[in-house]
């Protein structure tokens, strides 16, 4: 009996390094899998944003709305919050001429820059901040510059990344000829005619300020070095 017990103890001691090594390998695999998941999530979020920009540029409102989750939301400037794909689609359509596709002579370029994507630890949700530069206008009638900041959220549903919310803090909309240097306080931020005729589901979620004020929307993602919240300025 004693010999059997000694034999089992020796066997257990011999197996310990192998078990420890296996646990180390498993932990490394888990860490690599999590890293790949974050990289794939970041790529998917960027792909979503780019697709939205191209669809909106050409007036493909149905395709743009289909990028949202069923309960997704959109909030642009002081227009208020629209909830659900159908409401988002109709709002976008009314905001840009009232039809599928652009109207003749319409310029509607949304240039999205400076992506800062943050994937949650569980790999099921994300936030992203972007810069929005816009060239808008109607042939022989008017032309405007637009500037703003996106703070968006995303969710992975059934293995597919979708937009959960689009929130554009509009900094200014300035006539091309006049430019932003001659804007009066508050002139660069106005409620759209589309929002007045097609009221939102909820009022604006925050108090907005436009150029020449220096509002900086709060960041949803923490500072990547300190891990602390970045509150912005108002």
Q: Where are the domains of the chain?
A: 9-197
Pick the CATH number of 9-197 from 3.90.420.10, 3.90.1150.10, 3.30.70.20, 3.10.450.50: 3.10.450.50
Q: Does residue 212 have a cis bond before it (omega within 30 degrees)?
A: yes
Token duo for residue 59: 């007036």
- CA–CA distances in Å: residue 223 to residues 38, 214, 218, 231: 17, 20, 11, 10
Under a CB-based contact definition with an 8 Å cutoff, are residues 107 and 88 in contact? no
Under a CB-based contact definition with an 8 Å cutoff, are residues 147 and 132 in contact? yes
- Poorest-pLDDT segment among 20-34, 63-77, 162-176: 20-34
The confidence score (pLDDT) of residue 152 equals: 97
Q: What is the pLDDT of residues 30-54, one digit of tens each?
A: 677 778 888 999 999 999 999 999 9
HSE-CB at 48 with a 13 A cutoff on CA atoms is 29
What is the Cα–Cα distance from 205 to 167, expressed in whole angstroms?
10
Checking if the pLDDT of 11 tops 60, the result is no
Q: Does residue 168 have a cis bond before it (omega within 30 degrees)?
A: no
HSE-CB at 131 with a 13 A cutoff on CA atoms is 4
* Mean pLDDT, residues 129-145: 95
> What H or E segment, with its residue span, contains residue 128?
strand 125-138
User: Helices then strands (H, E): number in the chain?
Assistant: 4, 6
- Predicted confidence band of residue 3 (pLDDT cuts 50, 70, 90): low
Token duo for residue 118: 């943050």
Residue 79 DSSP one-character state: G
Percent of the residues in the chain that have a pLDDT greater than 70, as a whole number? 87
Q: What is the pLDDT of residues 150-159, one digit of tens each?
A: 999 999 999 9
**Model pTM?**
0.85
* Mean pLDDT, residues 154-179: 95
pLDDT mean across residues, the chain: 89
What is the Cα–Cα distance from 173 to 111, expressed in whole angstroms?
14
């Amino acid at each position: 009996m004693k010999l059997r017990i000694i034999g089992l103890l020796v066997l257990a001691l011999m197996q310990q390094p192998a078990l420890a090594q296996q646990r180390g390998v498993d932990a490394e695999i888990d860490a690599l899998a999590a890293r790949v998941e974050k990289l794939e999530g970041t790529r998917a979020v960027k792909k979503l944003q780019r697709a939205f920009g191209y669809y909106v540029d050409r007036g493909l409102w149905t395709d743009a709305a289909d990028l949202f989750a069923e309960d997704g939301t959109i909030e642009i400037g002081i227009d208020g919050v629209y909830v659900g794909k159908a409401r988002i689609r109709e709002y976008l359509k009314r905001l840009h001429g009232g039809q599928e596709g652009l109207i003749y002579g319409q310029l509607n370029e949304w240039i999205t820059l400076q992506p800062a994507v943050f994937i949650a630890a569980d790999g099921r949700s994300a936030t992203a901040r972007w810069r929005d530069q816009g060239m808008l206008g109607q042939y022989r009638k008017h032309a405007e510059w637009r500037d703003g900041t996106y703070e968006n959220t995303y969710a992975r549903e059934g293995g597919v990344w979708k937009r959960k919310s689009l929130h554009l803090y509009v900094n200014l909309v300035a006539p091309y000829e006049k430019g932003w240097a001659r804007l009066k306080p508050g002139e660069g931020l106005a409620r759209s005619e589309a929002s007045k005729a097609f009221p939102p589901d909820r009022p604006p979620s925050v108090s907005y300020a436009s150029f020449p004020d220096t509002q900086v929307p709060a960041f949803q993602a923490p500072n990547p070095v300190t891990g602390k919240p970045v509150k912005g300025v108002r």
